[in-house]
Structure 1
Amino acid sequence: MSEESEELSSAVKKQIQRNREKAIILKRSKLVSHPYSKGAVYSEDTTTIKIGATKFKDTGGGFLLEEMPDEQEFENIVKELDAPTPIIEYDRPFCETCEKPFATSWLFDNFEFKCCDLCKDPEMHKLITKTEAKDSYLLKDCDLDKREPILKFIKQKNPHNSHWGDMKLYLRLQVEKRALEVWGSEEKIEEERTLREEKKVMAKSKKYEKHLKELRKGMRSSLYDRTTAGPHVHNFGPETYDEEEDEYHRKCTTCPYEETFEKM
């Protein structure tokens, strides 16, 4: 009887062991596919599991109850959340001068120009006003404000009068590049600049000649002495035409007065 009892007890123990192994395998399979799972899952004891940094209590009723972390675990979680986000190296722009990646740049933030703050040069990266950009580089408003991509600018108070409108400041390097896009080459820009300068000189010369003619007319009319007795009536001789000046002339035959006029 004792031998049968011993054999039965041994068989029961083996069955219990097999059932326990099946239960462990089933439990592990449920944990891996559990909908709450957002990280590494492992069991701390028979009733507690840990998913990522969060602990859950197996209530045995078909759901998990989240356990509040202790003080030390809570401090560790806060430190992880407060830690700065790591900068991914390949996402950082490279400086066009030193060819190194940079995290912050005043030129990049304001003008999207890839240059780090260490390589920023006051002369090379000079800012110019909109008026200077148009006059020096022969650009129009549409070239700066409408042609794609629209040039970036910053606004600054006018130093000459605070009541005037804010000035628009552009990055000179970007304005030079835009001028080349509009005109095609530096040679064409210089040709156009020379042509415009010649037109300005010619306009000033014509204005000066016109003013000089007016002075001559005044001098000629003042040569006649109006203090003499009796009104003088001019007796003009034949008209003469000056093709170069496009003017007509006639002289009084009895006095030095000479009249210059144009015919419409």
Structure 2
Amino acid sequence: MEAVEPLPKNAWTKFYDYDLSSMKDTKAGFIQELDEKDTVGAGGDTETENNRKRKWQPTKAPPDPSIFLGAEDNFECQDCTSVDVDFQLLQHFHVPVCVGCRDAQPEKYSLLTKTECRLDYLLTDPELRDTELFPHWERPNPKKATWNNMMLYLRCQVEEFAFKKWGGPEGLDREFERRERDKEARKEIKFKKELRDLRNKTRTSVWQDKKAQQRVKVHTHSFGTALVDPESGASVQTCIECGIQVECEEF
């Protein structure tokens, strides 16, 4: 038997060393396992990447401007000349008012939502979107972060424009009462129309039921005593209910 010589060194194929501990089973790409970043903590529900991107991330508010030693370099409250002004109202509504006056006069410096401005002061959306008429403060929606941002307005600015538009608080009250009367009148007209339609449907259904009963009802003749017809000489019986006459023979 002849001895087999080993292959030369350059004839060996390449050898790949795999680290099986670092390999990941992808289940052929059909079953995907979620990572920790794709799960929500308590509920365990998955959350898509788009929702994570849309989630509101609170940003740090810029620090308030410094208060200078010189009185002429500071903003003063328009009511009490205090330098401790609320810089949020000053920045968004251009109204210099201190924190004490803001808290003491909520009927003047409180914030209103867009819905409250439309319902309470009868303002329209184009008017509220006009930044020249109403500077507003845009804030994330507190009900849900992915909804549209909330727009806040200063009450004194809204009241000033609304009173000028409707002719004072009395004019605003008259317009509000007029709209309420129109709303009640429209509701009354709608109710009467629906009631009339219901009556017509009821009458139609009752009439159809009567017609159906008349069609289904079978009349049974009730003949009386046979009488002799003087013209033909035949015996004739007459139905008591419908009056139909039939000839009969007497035995």
Could you tell me the TM-score, scaled by structure 2's length? 0.51
**Residue 203 in structure 1 maps to residue 186 in structure 2:** yes
Closer, same or farther: CA 131–106 of 1 in aligned 2, 3 Å = same
Closer, same or farther: CA 182–91 of 1 in aligned 2, 3 Å = farther
- Percent identical pairs in the alignment equals 31
Q: Which of 146, 161, 179 is 1:163 aligned to? A: 146
**What is residue 230 of structure 1 aligned with on the other side?**
215
Give the AA of the match of 2:150. M
How far apart are residue 176 of structure 1 and its match? Answer: 0.8
Q: Which of 134, 141, 146 is 2:125 aligned to? A: 141
**Residue 127 in structure 1 maps to residue 98 in structure 2:** no
Closer, same or farther: CA 213–104 of 1 in aligned 2, 3 Å = closer
- Tell me, in whole angstroms, the C-alpha distance in 2 between the residues paired with 1:104 and 1:161: 27
Aligned residue for 1:168, secondary structure, equals strand
How far apart are residue 169 of structure 1 and its match? Answer: 1.0
- Tell me, in whole angstroms, the C-alpha distance in 2 between the residues paired with 1:144 and 1:181: 15
How far apart are residue 104 of structure 1 and its match? Answer: 5.5
Question: Pairwise mapping of residues 82-161 of structure 1 onto structure 2 (< 5 A)?
Answer: 86-102=68-84, 105-121=87-103, 123-124=106-107, 125-146=109-130, 149-161=132-144
Aligned residue for 1:223, secondary structure, equals helix
RMSD after superposition: 2.8
- Tell me, in whole angstroms, the C-alpha distance in 1 between the residues paired with 2:103 and 2:203: 63
Q: Which of 168, 175, 179 is 1:192 aligned to? A: 175
Closer, same or farther: CA 86–172 of 1 in aligned 2, 3 Å = closer
How far apart are residue 101 of structure 1 and its match? Answer: 3.2
Aligned residue for 2:112, secondary structure, equals strand
How far apart are residue 86 of structure 1 and its match? Answer: 4.6
Give the AA of the match of 2:200. K
- Tell me, in whole angstroms, the C-alpha distance in 2 between the residues paired with 1:115 and 1:215: 60
- Tell me, in whole angstroms, the C-alpha distance in 1 between the residues paired with 2:143 and 2:133: 27
Structure 2 residue runs of 5 or longer lacking an equivalent are 1-65, 218-251
**What is residue 245 of structure 2 aligned with on the other side?**
none
**Residue 179 in structure 1 maps to residue 167 in structure 2:** no
Aligned residue for 2:128, secondary structure, equals helix
Closer, same or farther: CA 104–138 of 1 in aligned 2, 3 Å = closer
Give the AA of the match of 1:137. Y
- Tell me, in whole angstroms, the C-alpha distance in 2 between the residues paired with 1:191 and 1:85: 47
Per-residue deviation, residues 185-242 of structure 1 (Å, max 9, x unmatched) = 112111111111111111111110111001111221222325425389xxxxxxxxxx
**What is residue 215 of structure 1 aligned with on the other side?**
198
**What is residue 237 of structure 1 aligned with on the other side?**
none
Is the 1:130–1:169 Cα contact (8 Å) retained in structure 2?
yes
Query: Greater RCO between the two (CA within 8 Å, min separation 6)?
Result: 2
- Tell me, in whole angstroms, the C-alpha distance in 1 between the residues paired with 2:199 and 2:174: 38
Closer, same or farther: CA 152–227 of 1 in aligned 2, 3 Å = same
The size of the alignment, in residue pairs, is 148
Closer, same or farther: CA 100–162 of 1 in aligned 2, 3 Å = closer
Structure 1 residue runs of 5 or longer lacking an equivalent are 1-83, 233-264
